[in-house]
Structure 1
Amino acid sequence: MDPSPHAEWVISFANTLDVEDGTDALSEPSHVARWLVTTGLTTRTPRVTGADRDRYLRLRSGVRELFGTEEQRSHVLADADSVLRDVPLLVSLTPDSVLQPDPELPATSRALATIASALASVLITGEVARVKRCPAEDCGWVFWDSTKNRSRRWCSMQVCGNRDKARSFAARKRG
């Protein structure tokens, strides 16, 4: 099973933070504007304020927390929920997207509403069970679990899974 376009949007948004590389595609308002254009969420470079950037970061933190494998921090989810409460979505009868951003919104808010709509779709359809965040502290990559029984744990068994096995082995040898 492949991810829906909505799941791909959500995964892409979550992975704007790359823990392993130490990069953040949303670290500055100008970076948020660039990311919105690059991903096609806006057609022209929007004016992004510090407050806009903060909303994107708060929502991304909540999304990443939602897909984590460890115990979720409720305050991070609540903070993201407060961002979502202020995002107006319209119910539509079109088959491609039941929830749509209000077309009258400014570009940055409309793009945030598009991400919120995609997240709602992932939650409603149950795809949320297939979107996971790598538990490696030095990774945290969000990925699609395509295994039949949804048992994939690592973004890459060859990299993160092997690192964890090596750490566990070394700890057993020491102790």
Structure 2
Amino acid sequence: MIEPSPAAQLIEAFINTVDLEDGQDDVATPTELARWLADHHLAGDPPHLTAGQQRAFLDLRAGFREALDPDSPVSPHHLAAADAILAEVPLLATLKQPLVPSSAQTPAQTAMAQLAIAWTTLVLTGQIHRLKRCAEHTCRGAFWDSSKNHSRRWCSMRLCGNRTKARRYAARQRH
């Protein structure tokens, strides 16, 4: 079983801060987002965040979620918004480390840079193919695919996989 890297764990946790099925969002306010950033070591103390900064993090989260499953329909709006945010992230390339946050940043920019570095790490190492979006349309949560052939489709076979299969079975029975 291949374990997720710290970068994968961070991106998965960030994407899963919202539960699309029940609408619960762990970072629904700037204060909750600041606490989440501090809890995940992306900021020393919970930083003061504006509503605009929080909106940028939420747009980035939506873009990450969309980019996880290129085979299903994606929202170009979410991808474009996330790309625009990432284009503004101040990163520095050094000989010792490929990417680091540049020195003159706010705590929010540093946290955003850490998320950008984690995403870039997943893409460059090919691990992004193991981080997937649940195929159950009511869930869409992120999960790490630990299967040998990268074929896992649901975050949980007991819940999401069962729902999808039961729905398909019921549809076949109606016909």
Q: Distance in 2 between matches of 1:93 and 1:159?
A: 46
Matching residue's letter, 1:166: A
Output aligned runs, 1:1-175, within 5 Å. Answer: 1-68=2-69, 70-94=72-96, 97-175=97-175
Describe the superposition over 1:108-159 as per-residue Cα deviations: whole angstroms up to 9, x where unpaired: 1100110001001111111111110102122111000011110111111111
Q: TM-score, normalised by structure 1?
A: 0.94
Cα distance in structure 2, aligned partners of 1:131 and 1:103: 30
How big is the shift at 1:73?
2.1
User: Alignment RMSD, CA only?
Assistant: 1.3
Q: State the secondary structure of the residue aligned to 2:43.
A: coil
SS at match of 1:143: strand
Structure 2: gaps of 5 or more residues: none
DSSP 3-state at the match of 1:105:
coil
Tell me how far apart the structure 1 counterparts of residues 10 and 94 of structure 2 sit (CA, whole Å). 19
Length, aligned pairs only: 173
TM-score by length of 2: 0.94
Displacement of 1:92: 2.7
CA distance in 1, matches of 2:113, 2:51: 18
Q: 1:100, 1:151 → 2: CA distance?
A: 33
